[in-house]
Every structure is written in structure tokens, then in C-alpha cells.
Chain A
């Protein structure tokens, strides 16, 4: 614990003056993230949207501890993030499941890795049930659908009871029905577990439907251009006037912020 960062009740994750630069194949410097400052509130559902290449994944990886910032720092409850930790669960877009393990063994991985499997075996069926995969315990990843695979990945991260769940476009590769299904599941889990969730998405509707706040990022250099509050009660109606008003506002900001003639999003 560092003493100069007192634990604040409302803020769980603090990102201060973070910069991250990559060198690409042509030896050019790519400023993936420039001067990022963000405070994430305990228990909130935060979405990050922005065009491809604006540094969303980089930011999430820094929070996960899978990458390090050049300057600046990230703290979780006052503790500096120095590497990956089960306190910060991570769900990849796809391909994160262990093909050689059944659904239930994939979900149990965190318990085994942390050597607490024996004591917590009962949790497995609880989380399988929570993501609605009862009956598929013994199935292998190639035998289940993409939507089910993502639910396994979510349960696998949640079994460690993380303070923050990081989701990098977990629904990007799914059809719209499956996507809606997982969105409901995420809301339900958020309500039940009170886990802080940070979701990267390129779907504006999805962000509005799920989030308490939306972070809008712009590319080259990757920056936060705006943070919007979504003050609508759940369940939200995608067709309501308020919903559509927020959507319009975001798209307009987007349009201006990214200084492009057309928004890059197809909704």
C-alpha cells in the first residue's frame, strides 16, 4: 500500500497521467494513450467507446497489469497496479478459453491457479448456474456456441471474486440475439455481485443500455475526449426518447471529436 494514495470510499480505480507509446514496424512512434486521467467509481458500470485504434485495449491491458505505462500510474484501492492479479478479471474478445478443458474446468481454473480449489469447489456449480450453463459442465469449448463460450469466460473471471471485471469487446464477435442475451446477463451479474465493470465496446447502443457512465476516446493520440453520465433507470428501453436523445448526443460528439466526415459506427 502506498501512503500517498489514500483509499477513497467512492473511487476504486484511479488512472493518473498515463502515457503509453508503441514503436510500430516502420519505427514510427504510436501514441496509443496520451495523458489519460480517469477515476472509476466503486460498483459502477463503465463503458469505453471509440474508433478502432484509439487505445481502448491498451488502456484495459494497463488496468489488468498485462502492460505497463511509460509514465503515470494506476492504482486499485490505493495500491499501485504492477502486474496481473485475480482482483482484476479480464475477458478477451474471443479465443481465451482453454480448449482442452471442459466448461466446468475452465471455470475452475482461477481456483486451481490460486491453489484454493479444494476449499471452494462448490463455487463452480454456483457460477455455472449464474451464467446459465447448467447442463453444459462437461462440454468442451468446441462443442458450445460463441455466446456460451463468452459466458464461460465471464464466469471464469468472476469465480475469483474480482474487484473489477474488465471486458474487451466480449460481444464483438456475436450475433445480435446472443449479444442481447449476454447484455442481460451482464446487467444481472452487475446487480447481484456489485462488481465494478469496465466494458470496451464499439456499439453505442450497448454502451447506453448497460452503463452508468460512458468514456469516449479519440485516436492518434489516444485520448479521453468526454465522459458522459447515463441517468436512466433499469431496465432501459432502447426506443425511449431519452435513450435516443443520449444516443444522438454521443454520435454528435463523436462526429465532432473524431473530426471525421462520417461516424465510423454502423449501428
Chain B
């Protein structure tokens, strides 16, 4: 709302109720610069320590030519840190104008500062002194070197993983919700299918790997199959529970309003089951990431798991870390997207605050 700052005092209780984190406080505009500087100072320290502390240990620093610019892993590392400063700087300035965003930004400031300092320390111990056991624990700059060396290849593998995930997971969600509705609505289906679902549901999807690889013509399809079944079972179970817990009163009211079976299913039972369906989707999400990476490590021609395997063979552990970093970013993004969709769909729930 635009007039929040005008009615600051009267709006205060509402604003306070929107602070979602424990221990989160409102921050005035006067206090804001402290948090702004704190946020950026950590990363600035990391840049400074990388740029000004002398390289003590004997480490090979290669020079790469990327798009006409000469880069070493150090300059690239500083570039990435600079990018972070830019992003946090912009988001900090943006947050200045809104009390909620300001509070959120300030809330995260100490943590971000610590991340910056941590990176600086890691860089000092891992690269400047080379004190961490090599080659297992490379410094942060070394990890980023993988992106200068073979960024295209990592990107290709990321896309492979993403494609695998999107195809497998969306099919799993569709099948899961579909069977969940059938099981939850028809007692006969429940009787015959639910026990099977319960039994197979506890088996980790990768256990089916040998079958999958022989049953399907391509490894891609085999991996899609594994992701489908791991999403399918957990979503189907929770969907069925949600459908079954639909209050009788709501179904009866709908009947007296003229609803036929399809309306009862899709306009009463399914919306009622939505919170549980999303719990199922979130659970399945975690299983699907695990299955995806394991499947890729067990025989895929591409993907981030494949890249890990390949790098391990060459003892290029910094590439393993690079791959893990990409996974962390990719999977958090996917989770965030799903959470956004969930918040949108479930905006009718108690506690959801209207913007």
C-alpha cells in the first residue's frame, strides 16, 4: 500500500504482524545506513583481502582470455564479489523506502556480513596460504575457475539437469494428483490401490534404476521415469488424504446448490485438498533432487551429477564444488518458484497477509 508511510503510527500493528521472522524488528530510515554498510562491508573485505594480501603459497595462477579480457581466477572471484555487492546494494537502496523490506534487509545484514568475512578467511587459508588439504578443499576462487575454464560445458549440463527435472517432476505431479484424486474419491480404488502405493512409496526411487535402464530406450527416459515415480507416490498419498478429509458439510452444501460429481471433485474436494497437495509437492521436490543427482551419477550422458562424476575421475574437486554450487542455486530457485505458486494458490488460508 502506498500510504503506509503517511499513516505510519496507525499502520504500525499491521506492519508488525507482517514481520515474518523470529526476532525481526522494525528499522527506521535513520538506522538503515548501518545495515546497508554492514551488508556490503563483508564482501568488500573479501575483495580487499583477495586483492591486497600477498600470495604466499606456491599456486599456479593461469590467465584465461574470455571475450577479449584477460582473467585469472582471482580477478574473476573479485568480479563475482563485486557483482554481489552491486546486487545487495541495489536491493538495499530499494528496501530503504518500504518498512517491511527495510526490516527484511536489516534482518539479513549480519548474516551477509558473516558470509563475506567467511569468504575472505576461506580465500586466505585456501588460496593465499594453501593450508587446506589439497586437492579436496580448494579455495573459493579456485572453484570459480571451473566457470572460466568450461562455463559452456557446465551450462550445458545444468540445462540437461533442468530439462530432466522439469519433464520428470511435472509428469510426476500430474500423475500424482490424478491418482490421488481417484484414490481419495473412490473407495474401491482406495481399497485396491492405496496399499500398493504405501508399499512402493517407501522404496527409494533409485532402487528401480536397473529396471529403468533396461526398460527404457534412452538413459534420459529412464531418469525421467525415476523422477516421475518418486514425485508420483508422495504426491498421490497426500492428495488422497486431502480429498478424503473434505468436510461432509461442504460436499452436502454443494449438492444442495446443484453440484454434480465432477463439480464436487474439482470445485470442492480438490481445492480443499490443495494445502496437502502442496505439502506433497514440497516433499516430492526434495526426493526428486536426490533422485535426479543419483540417477545422473549412475549413468547419464549429461547433467550436474554427471559433471561431478566426470570431475571426480580427474580429481578436479574444485569442479565438483562448482557443480554443487550450481545445484544449490538451481534447486533453491526451483523451490522458490514452487513456494511462490503455493502462496498464490493458497492465499485464502488463515495467516496469509493481503498485500
Contact = CB atoms under 8 A, between A and B. Distances in A.
Interface string A143-163: 000000000010011001000
B254 interface: yes
Interface string B224-265: 000000000000000000000001011011111111100100
B253 A92 contact: yes
B348 A99 contact: yes
Interface in B260-281: 260, 263, 267-268, 271-272, 274
B256 A114 contact: no
B249 A95 contact: yes
B350 interface: yes
A109 interface: yes
A112 B255 contact: no
A84 interface: yes
A114 B259 CA distance: 7
Interface string A104-116: 0000011011100
A89 interface: yes
Contacts of A84: 252, 255-256
Given A100-B348, A140-B348, A142-B350, A92 B249 contact: yes
Contacts of A110: 257-258
A83 B271 CA distance: 24
Contacts of B267: 109, 112-113
Nearest to B272: A100
B222 to A, nearest CB: 38
Contacts of A95: 247, 249-250
Interface of A is mostly: loop
A140 B354 CA distance: 11
Nearest to A84: B255
A66 B248 CA distance: 11
A90 B256 contact: yes
Given A98-B271, A99-B348, A142-B350, A66 B256 contact: yes
A96 interface: yes
B255 A66 contact: yes
Contacts of A101: 271, 348
A98 B255 CA distance: 13
B75 to A, nearest CB: 53
Contacts of B263: 112-113
Contacts of B253: 90, 92, 96, 153, 156
A98 B259 CA distance: 14
Interface residues of B, number: 21
B269 to A, nearest CB: 11
B257 A86 contact: yes
B252 A66 contact: yes
A86 B258 contact: yes
A85 interface: yes
How many of chain A's residues touch chain B, expressed as a range? Answer: 20 to 34
A112 B250 CA distance: 15
A101 B247 CA distance: 15
Contact of B257 (A66, A102, A160): A160
A114 B254 CA distance: 10
Nearest to B345: A100
A246 to B, nearest CB: 32
Given A95-B247, A96-B250, A89 B256 contact: yes
B272 A157 contact: no
Contact of A86 (B250, B256, B272, B349): B256
A88 interface: yes
Contacts of B350: 142
Contacts of B249: 92, 95-96
Contacts of B252: 64, 66, 84, 90, 92
Nearest to A88: B256
Contacts of B274: 100
Given A66-B252, A96-B253, A101-B348, A113 B271 contact: no
Contact of A160 (B258, B271, B272, B349): B258
A92 B257 CA distance: 13
B348 A113 contact: no
A153 B249 CA distance: 12
A140 B253 CA distance: 18
Contacts of B268: 98
Contact of A156 (B257, B260, B271): B257
A64 B256 contact: yes
A96 B256 CA distance: 11
A85 to B, nearest CB: 7
16 contacts: A64-B252, A64-B256, A83-B255, A84-B256, A86-B257, A86-B258, A92-B252, A92-B253, A98-B272, A99-B272, A101-B348, A113-B257, A153-B253, A157-B256, A160-B257, A160-B258
Top 10 A-B pairs, shortest CB-CB distance = A86-B258, A84-B255, A113-B259, A110-B257, A90-B256, A114-B258, A113-B258, A100-B271, A100-B348, A96-B253
Interface of A: 64-66, 83-86, 88-90, 92, 95-96, 98-102, 109-110, 112-114, 140-142, 153, 156-157, 160
Given A84-B252, A112-B267, A113-B263, 6 more contacts: A66-B252, A92-B252, A96-B250, A96-B253, A98-B250, A101-B348
